[in-house]
Amino acid sequence: MTRREEIIERIREVIYECAPELEGTPLEEDTVINTDTGIDSMGFTLIICRLEAAFDVRIPNRQWTKLQTLGDVADAIEKRLPKKL
């Protein structure tokens, strides 16, 4: 499993933890988190906060509005993770 695949899998886990009603719903890189899943802005905020904690990264609030798809979130997290040595 690549680093990106690991990141995406962890994002899925966090989304399912925050929105258990979505368990079993396929979440792909092009899934628009708010519209395709029905997660509201408060739910999205919770997900981002949990992801920041899970990955020990900080995504600036001003960038949150630019995060629409699962892939966008993965990009933002991947960009902030330390490079592997």
Domain ranges of the chain: 3-80
3-state helix/strand/coil string of 44-83 = HHHHHHHHHHHHCCCCCHHHHCCCCEHHHHHHHHHHHCCC
Topology at the third CATH level for domain 3-80: 1.10.1200
16 touches 58 (CB < 8 A): no
Computed on alpha carbons and rounded to an integer, the radius of gyration of the chain in Å comes to 12
| Whole-number pLDDT of residue 85 | 46
| Whole-number pLDDT of residue 54 | 97
| Whole-number pLDDT of residue 14 | 97
Which amino acid is present at 7?
I
| Whole-number pLDDT of residue 34 | 87
> Is the full-model pTM beyond 0.95?
no
- Give me the average pLDDT of each 10-residue run along the chain (85 residues): 96 96 95 93 94 96 92 96 76
